[in-house]
A and B are shown apart, each in its own frame.
Chain A
Amino acid sequence: MSRPGAGFLAKKSTQPSSEKIPTLGKAQVEPYAWHFKRKLAALSPNGEPPKKATGTDQVVGLGLVAVSLIIFTYYTIWVILLPFIDSQHVIHKYFLPRAYAVGIPLAVGLLLLLFVGLFITCVMLKNQKVTKKVQ
């Protein structure tokens, strides 16, 4: 009995099918009413179904997904597939020399670290200025 209402329905199904389908009286529904109230509460307070993500959220999210997929496929082809392709094939024209396959992520990683460090420095300096003003 995974669902709370399943016990109620299971009781009904043990009756022979020749009987007419019983109607639900208030006494039978009442104990399970809190389940329905919880389900309603899980919807928004107005009783509407939960809204989807809107507008810019979807655009930004799908943009991030697309960017990550593009980077992943390009990098995978570059690092893993190209060595197995004949060096005279035309596809090699679209990919930089192999040394950049390690150089570019390394440079980007160092830049990221630089920005994170700069951000932390700025925040710490701002905090120090605020505490000096208060003193």
Chain B
Amino acid sequence: MEESDCKRFKSSSEFFPSESVEHDVSDLCGSVASFAVSDTSSSPSISETTHVNPADGSSGAATSIINVTSAFKHPSILRSLSDKLPHNYRRTHRRTGSSQSTSSLNWLSQVDESHELTESDVHPDKTLSAPNVLGLYLTGESPYSASSLNDTVDGNASHSPVDNEVTAGLQPTTPPPSQEHTNWLLRFFQSELFDASLALHYLYRSKSKDTGVQQYLGNRLFTLDPVDVEFYLPQLINLCIDTRDLSDYLLPYLKYRCEFSPDLALRSAWLTDAYTQDGWMRGRKIRKTPIAKFREAILAETYSCRPVRPLPALSALPTLKPLREPEPMATMTPPGSVKKTGHHRSRSDITGGSTTTSSAAPPAVAQHPVKSTIGDLASAKAFHSGCTCFESTVNVMHELKGEPVVCTCQAPRLAPEIEFVKALVKIGRNLTRSPKDGRTVRLAADLGVININLPARVWLPLYCDTPHHVVRIPPTAAAVLNSKDKAPYLIFVEVLLVEDLFCTPVNSKIQDNVMRHTKSEENIMDQSPCDEGISSSKSDEDGECWSQEDDEILNQFPVHDVNRLHNGETTSVWSQESMQSLESREITISAGDVVRRLNESLNANGTSFKPDHEDPSAAAMKEPWEMKQARIRRSSPYGHLPNWRLLAVIVKCGDDLRQEQLAHQMLQLLQKIWETEKLKLWLKPCNILVTGKDQGMIEPIINAVSLHQIKKQSQLPLLQYFIREYGGQTTEEFFKAQLNFVHSLAAYCLVSYLLQVKDRHNGNILLDSYGHLIHIDFGFILSQSPKSLGFENSQFKLTSDFVDVLGGVGSDMFEYYKLEMLKGLIAARKHCDKILSIFEVMQNADLPCFKNGGSNVVNGLKQRLHVYATEESLQQMVDTMVSSSIASITTKLYDDFQYYSNGIM
């Protein structure tokens, strides 16, 4: 549906000369202003045009343009029109699976038609599709299935290339002269080249000037690639906050998107929160602004419209009623859960006798407390929305029939998730208040409490691409990260992938299968010291559950077994020999051997890092992800489920992540640019979620440790570490790692240069297991350095350690590195508009990096992109930057400073 429209939209503007895109901005704005004035009188005509049947309304080109402009001017009328549509209209619309807005569609079809009216006599079949679409919407029913709709769409799409050629030949490329100036902008907006980045740019530029353009662009967003627009969500939110007028035009789009994506709704709410919490809205009544109302509405769950579908089974409900009595057990265990046999015994089994009374109790009693437990961690149902739909008889029937299960109750959908994130942040806040060496324990304790409330219909917003439910957070796998006074922490979260966040039932709770294991047999023989009653019941279970082999149990806890070596040590000899009687044979061992083995095993600790009290995160990060995942999976009660996954997330509170998010956008953009330019430069943008001004979550970089940790643990220079990890300098492995290193180094050098990333000590630079260098912590970017020390004068950090890995100055690899940098810079320059637009829109926000004047910062960035320099001069510049960075005394100074002040090596 949407696709077809876009295509048609594109096709209709295909014939515009591509040069027309290269407008001067100010020029365009002026033209739009005049254009907005030109047709104020045409507003009444819109109501007619909407009702015109395109099939017979084939009027001339002149009227069509009036139609376009009027539509352009007054989409609000169309919106009001769409409001008059039957109420279930939207729902039907949802059911078709399309994500197109009704109002925009209506309006778009208008625009399209008016354009195509001139072509309609040539290709009648194309215009015919429009009434089809409209008809579908207006009836409110769904006589057309989604597939039939697709058929028509496909039919159109297959025609369109031909159309273009034909129209290009038939149609004069210049519109009527009276409208010429106006149409350049319009055509540009309608052109295929127009994307979210440009929309943003023009939205920003038209700010407080041209309501017409703003309106148009606000509507145009509906037709752009949703993913693309989503990328600019912080910018959009910021525009809404910054310019009240714009929020009138942007919010409809956001509201519309929020209806379909609860995740986007949450992120919008959090972003709004983050950007309005600080003082730059001071003097304005924040509560009254539309964006604040928007946020309120999200939190009140106005937009998270439920997938209400007519239930065919509802009419059959009375007949199903009797079913309820015989199967209370079925309703108690949500479907989809895999019941573990034998060892696991849920409470429901035990209280089986009494369930009859509890299930017979009226549901009102059960529902009453549920409502109030959201957010109450001690209730074990803190993230439970109170929805009982999945346990209802109807849905059990659905499940059995293989039909989709639906939730029909009015339980809140976002509240549990909001509480979940709140709980995680609260843990972080508690951590900062506890003494440093007790933090790990405190973290484990608090996560234990959260665990009791899981599984629930909550997810990690960082990984919203893959819908999942959180089932468990293994408390012992979590680690508090190094930080001076904040306490960010890393958690590993066990999730189950689901088809749909809200339609898949939540897995039922499975307890940790850690059970009593009596190591020696004495107590089993002895029975229990308690009374007969206890011991006899216990012995029953002993037989089946408690007689597991040591090894089997040990497999669940392989933590300390990793270094187990089977090379004939004392213990292994010992255990073998203890089987036989020792009286018969005298086995002697040499004390010298014992000492030697002790020393060997202590020294040969291999590549794994020793657990360190001061830095518990080092060991947690060094363990390869696959191993960790396998280990946690083994010990997890949910590990046997096929859709089990492990995700990692860093929860930060007390740190402003908004700037990190900006840097993340920049990295993503650069990554995309270099990808399209077919460059090998490698970046690792780690996803960032802002949930408030000073809190949020970060996607950790897995399989990577910081240079500081490498140096501290291995006590080797970087090159030697590479050799130790990947083999000698001539090996294939080493070469691969070196190549990875070069690509990432060049990429991050460019990022450092462009963004002027400071605070580049070794704790902020990671090395992953493939040899990629990764920079993290973009807390000081764009004209801002820690405590305004101004140490780091060089453009980027290039230490002799790095150069050594490259093979020294002047080596082939080194030259290659410079070449890659040059290529990367040229590519970035080519797309400088996109890069600039991210920052430009944000420059009024109260971010630390814009403290010294937002426009200066953006201009500085523009300068660093050297838009007007020749490639030769660029090359020269890269050369000088590299050589000055190697020689830079300030880099060394800063490292020393960090070493002495914070102990970072």
Verify that A and B bind, or say they do not.
no
Interface residues of B (CB under 8 A from A): none
